[in-house]
Amino acid sequence: MAPSRLSQPIAGFGRVRPLAFAAPPMVRCPAVSSPTRPRAQQETGLKRRRPSPAALAFLGILAVSGALLAAVVPVDRAWTAALAATPHPSFTDFMRRTLFQGDWPGASDPPVLLLLALFAAYLAAQRARAPAWLRRWRPQMGFLVVSALGAGLGVVHSLKWLTGRARPKYVLDGRLPYSDWFEPGPLTLADGIYRGSFPSGHTAAVFLFMALAYMLAGNPAAPAARRALGVAAGALALALAGAMTLANAMEGMHWVSDAVGSVGLVWLVIHALYYWVLQVPRQEARPAPPGQRPTAGDYWELVFCWWGFVTLLGVVLAGLGLRALATLPWPAALAVAAGGLGLAVWGAPRWRRSYAVFQARLAGTARVAAPPLAWVGGGTRPPRPGAAGGFRRIVRVLVVHSAGELVRYKSFLLLIGLMILLERGVQRLRPEVRGLELPPLSALGPALSHWVYTVLPGQAWGLLTDPRTVAVLALLFLVKQVISLWPSSDMRRMHRYERERMGIFRSLLLLRWDQVAWDAIAVSTLAGGGALWVAAVVALTGALWHWSGWDAWVAVAGAAVALSFPILMAGLSYSSKLAVISGGRFGERLGLFYRLFTDWRLFWQSWVLFALRILIEGAFVAVVPVVVFAQVETYWVRIGLASLFAVPAYSYVKMASFKFFLEVYRPFPAVQQEYARYFRTGPA
């Protein structure tokens, strides 16, 4: 029999055995169309290649918004001018006024008030013991928070600054040139603080009802009644946006294209956040078990928004700097652009990392993390006994760990209330400050020296002997308890890992009268020592002034008094932190307080830190908010911008001050015992 072709020799391989001997005849080799992907995966892959309904809806919103923006370009100026020529004061006043400007309620207030109420519910839902119905709604409420902060504030106002489009009332009267929505506007950094026309912020505010519509009807698995409410909320959002468009154009505040662009932009951001970024339906399908923390993590949405704001602010500053190259000196413009680019480069990885943590938790692949309130840096080595804290370790604690734990500090809500009070004071003093004229320096020196060395001592003695001074000092001491002792109690619980939730009012209830009395003694001692120092400086420089007649001695006296401010602030800070310690005798804690003035190393380290704290707080908590209050017209924008600068800075210095106190008082048994767990888990 002729040999089979399969048994013929093949070049390079020799003779190949017949196929009958290669495999048993009863074994069937499965016919696989793709050797690397099973059939089930092939079918799944075919399904994934089909556009999802969410993607189709996104493309539809994008197409309709783009078509409307393109269609309105030829008639934008004419339509806006026609609407501005036919004003309706009662209609425009109702649509544009708001409670947040000290006026009667307006059309934009219901969505904002609803969002504030849902934000409070979102904070309550973070608790492990929150009611089951509240925990079920936590993903939707977090989505609303991100939509309001991201779409309503972040994206819209960033584009306002980047585009710099002039408002209709300034264009129609010839003060500024006209520009289309896609063109760079005439406003730049050289014009100071401005808010461009595109896109419309008022329209974005009322259109946030669309986020409520997604919250109710975005999940296909939601009940029919809930989805019907969501459709009604979406229709209401569109109706309010249309009415706000007319009101803004009649008032001469926005072009028609500003409103169209605002609706399209906010809608696209809300849609992307719901289905792809936050994956709300997926979160809703995986609720946290009772007694456990949310799947997404504590306050994850706020952390995500914070780093998003940092990144977005960097992008905005970079864009503003580049746009201002033609109107500002190029070194200043490039410095703004470089600073913004650095801020964006610094914030973007942290923004991405916070989102990666959320994705890992949602997928169930996150590693077992430390307790939510554990030390950010990790580490389990015990502290070195008797060490007052190396300087490098202190710097690492202040720069790395204090900034990393900002989100845990919730007493910053007190500062927002203080910002509101400060804003009222600035508005009252605004006319007087604008009309104030300082005398020239040559005339100021002699007059100031004469007043300090001849008039001030008598006035100071009169104040000290006035009974009303006691009432004022008592009031200042109560303010100190609110802004220092109460937050220190909150910080104490935080660093003892006793505070797993907001806990602000719980921290207030834990304060005892003996703690307030101890703080009163420490503050009185500090005030007496400070008064003696000021009196000694004034007496010495006053004698030298009378002898030499040199007016510069008053500057020397001012510098000597200013040099004492950091150590006085350190004493005020340490008094609150030592007052809330539960262990240690009364006198022992006073001895720890007096170590500030007897331990040279503690003295100079405290002076350096609190000098930096004075600079940071002076710049971001005092100067910048006052400038914002004096320059920005809209009330809620004033409060928002001032809080955006003041709250992180204040929270950082408070957190850094507490950690610094723990590090420099590390060797003392009373502090070691009080914060044993902190020192056990903190870096050595």
Given a cut of 80, is residue 24 above it in pLDDT? Answer: no
What is residue 437's three-state secondary structure?
coil
- If asked whether residues 397 and 276 sit together in one domain, one would say no
- The gap between the terminal CA atoms of the chain, to the nearest Å, is 87
248, 275, 291: which is the final residue of a domain?
291
- Is residue 372 a part of any domain in this protein? no
Q: Are 80 and 171 in contact (CB under 8 A)?
A: no
Comparing 59-63, 382-386, 485-489, 591-595, which segment has the lowest mean pLDDT? 382-386
Average pLDDT, the chain: 77
Q: What is the DSSP string of 46-75?
A: HHHTSPPHHHHHHHHHHHHHHHHHHHHTTT
What pLDDT shows up at residue 369? 39
Per DSSP, what are the bridge partners of residue 9? 15
- pLDDT exceeds 60 at position 418: yes
Nearest C-alpha neighbor of 560 from the set 535, 597, 592, 596? 535
| Domain end position, chosen among 225, 256, 291 | 291
Read off the pLDDT of residues 196-238 as tens digits, 9 standing for 90 and up: 899 998 899 889 889 999 999 998 888 999 999 999 999 999 9
pLDDT for the residue numbered 517: 82
Query: Residue written as tokens 């007096």?
Result: 594
pLDDT exceeds 60 at position 39: no
pLDDT of residue 583: 67
Residue 315 lies in a domain: no
Q: What is the pLDDT of residue 45?
A: 44
**Is the residue at 20 inside a domain?**
no
Judgement on whether residues 89 and 229 belong to the same structural domain of the protein = yes
The winner for highest mean pLDDT among 136-140, 254-258, 438-442, 675-679 is: 254-258
Task: Work out the pLDDT band at 393, boundaries 50, 70, 90.
Answer: low
Residue 31 has pLDDT above 50, yes or no: no
Structural domains counted in the chain: 2
Is 130 within a domain? yes
pLDDT of residue 365: 56
Name which of 205, 225, 206, 207 is nearest 216 in CA terms. Answer: 225
Is the pLDDT at 178 greater than 90, yes or no? yes
User: Tell me, what's the pLDDT at 646?
Assistant: 80
- Confidence class for position 381, pLDDT limits 50, 70, 90: very low
Domain extent, residue 106, equals 53-291
Residues 285, 402 share a domain:
no
Q: Give the pLDDT confidence score for residue 298 in this predicted structure.
A: 65
- Does residue 295 have a pLDDT over 80? no
Can you tell me the distance from the alpha carbon of 234 to that of 223, in angstroms, rounded to the nearest whole number? 17
Query: What's the confidence (pLDDT) of residue 17?
Result: 44
The answer as to whether 281 is a domain residue is yes
Better pLDDT: 204 or 397 = 204
Name the band, by pLDDT with cuts 50, 70 and 90, for residue 27: very low
How does residue 19 score in pLDDT terms, banded at 50, 70 and 90? Answer: very low
Determine the pLDDT at residue 306: 83
Per-residue pLDDT, 44: 45
Q: How confident is the model at residue 43 (pLDDT cuts 50, 70, 90)?
A: very low
What pLDDT is attached to residue 489? 75
**Which pLDDT value is given to residue 74?**
93
Least confident of 160-169, 286-295, 502-511, 527-536: 286-295
Say whether 183 sits in a helix, a strand or coil.
Answer: coil
Q: What is the DSSP string of 340-405?
A: HHHHHHHHHHHHHHHHHHHHHHHHT----PPPTTS-TT---PPPPTT----HHHHHHIIIIIHHHT
The pLDDT confidence band at residue 613, using thresholds 50, 70 and 90, is confident
> Last residue of some domain: 255, 275, 291?
291
User: What's the rounded mean pLDDT across residues 354-362?
Assistant: 84
Average pLDDT over residues 619-641: 77
Q: Note the pLDDT of residue 373.
A: 27
285 and 397 in a single domain? The answer is no
Q: Are residues 287 and 421 in the same domain?
A: no
Mean pLDDT, residues 664-679: 80
pLDDT score, position 384 = 36
Residue 34 above 60 pLDDT?
no
What pLDDT, on a 0 to 100 scale, did the predictor assign at position 241? Answer: 93
Mean pLDDT of 431-445: 52
Does position 457 have pLDDT exceeding 90, yes or no? no
Domain assignment present for residue 375? The answer is no
The CA distance from 680 to 684, in Å, is 9
Q: Please report, for residues 254, 297, 339, the alpha-carbon distance to residue 122 in angstroms, rounded to integers and kept in the order given.
A: 33, 13, 34
The pLDDT confidence band at residue 582, using thresholds 50, 70 and 90, is: confident
Tell which residue, 177, 186, 189, has the closest CA to residue 330. 189
Residue 179 lies in a domain: yes
Nearest to 510 by CA among 524, 492, 522: 492
Q: In the predicted model, is pLDDT for residue 628 greater than 90?
A: no
Least confident piece of the model among 110-124, 350-364, 622-636:
622-636
Poorest-confidence range of 121-135, 271-285, 410-424?
410-424
Instruction: Identify whether 322 is part of a domain.
Output: no
Average pLDDT over residues 39-61: 69
Q: What is the mean pLDDT of residues 307-334?
A: 86
| Mean local confidence (pLDDT), 493-504 | 65
What's this model's pTM, rounded to 2 decimal places?
0.56
Average pLDDT over residues 642-657: 79
Q: Is the pLDDT of residue 618 over 60?
A: yes
If pLDDT is split at 50, 70 and 90, which confidence band does 40 have?
Answer: very low
Instruction: Band the pLDDT of 38: cuts 50, 70, 90.
Output: very low
Q: What is the pLDDT of residue 483?
A: 67
Range from 286-295, 335-344, 626-635 carrying the lowest mean pLDDT: 286-295
246-269: per-residue pLDDT in tens?
999 999 999 999 999 999 999 999
- Cα 503 to the center of its chain, rounded Å: 20
Torsion-angle region of 437 (φ positive above 0: left; ψ -120 to 50: alpha; else: beta): beta
